[in-house]
Amino acid sequence: GFVGRAHCVQRAFGVKDSAYWEHTDIHACRSMVKWGGRPCSPQHDRLNAGMVIGPAGAIQKVFEGALALPREATMFWEFKDTRFEWNDQKALQLYMFSHSQEITLDYSGILFQPLNFMHPWKYGRDDRDMFQILDGEVVNNVVGQRQCFVHANSRGNKFMQPFLDKLR
């Protein structure tokens, strides 16, 4: 299953489920749960439909499959406009559950690191923070490797200026 797959990937890269917890913004996570959101999950066990990597034909197949799912299974209620909207995250997660050989997640955070609910510069020290800049490259200190992609989604946008400052 997915948990077994996650643990295999994590073992291969030397990453534990708890690896990113010390960099998580627990206060922000709790506020999301308070307002009906899901708890934070720094174990990299959530699909993000905004970041897809793979051969174009495979990506096309996945998105066509997700779009073909029943409307009632892939919608969420939009309170502001009182209408239903297609939920890309939900649709791709549903597709992934029934097509697990076609989709996998980056369980290590090496390829794709979202910043939402994180404190990447928590300690103010390159050796302790989640990231450091070495020779103009972003290094993920949790895994000790260059970070391929950083996703400054939602609350993570506030960390873009520190990234830019450190890159100068």
How many angstroms separate the Cα of 52 from the Cα of each of 30, 80, 91, 112, 150? 28, 29, 14, 10, 13
Cβ neighbours of 134 (radius 10 Å): 10
The pLDDT assigned to 62 comes to: 93
Say which residues have a Cβ less than 8 Å from residue 106's Cβ, sequence separation at least 6: 44, 112
- Identify the domain boundary among 84, 99, 114: 99
Domain count across the chain:
2
Q: Confirm whether 19 is domain-assigned.
A: yes
The pLDDT tens digits for 58-101 are 999 999 999 999 888 888 666 566 566 778 888 998 998 889 88
Global pTM exceeds 0.75: no
Domain that holds residue 143: 2-46+105-167
Same domain, 81 and 153: no
Q: In angstroms, rounded to a whole number, what is the distance separating the alpha carbons of residues 59 and 168?
A: 36
Same domain, 40 and 109: yes
The pLDDT assigned to 117 comes to: 76
Same domain, 122 and 41: yes
The pLDDT assigned to 161 comes to: 78
Same domain, 42 and 116: yes
Q: Confirm whether 51 is domain-assigned.
A: no
Say which residues have a Cβ less than 8 Å from residue 13's Cβ, sequence separation at least 6: 108, 110, 143
Token pair for 117: 């609910």
Same domain, 41 and 109: yes
Say which residues have a Cβ less than 8 Å from residue 75's Cβ, sequence separation at least 6: 84, 85, 86, 87, 90
Same domain, 6 and 41: yes
Q: Confirm whether 35 is domain-assigned.
A: yes
Same domain, 33 and 86: no
Weakly modelled stretches of the chain, pLDDT under 70: 32-46, 76-84, 154-157
Same domain, 31 and 81: no
Q: In angstroms, rounded to a whole number, what is the distance separating the alpha carbons of residues 16 and 4?
A: 13
Same domain, 110 and 93: no
Q: In angstroms, rounded to a whole number, what is the distance separating the alpha carbons of residues 13 and 11?
A: 5
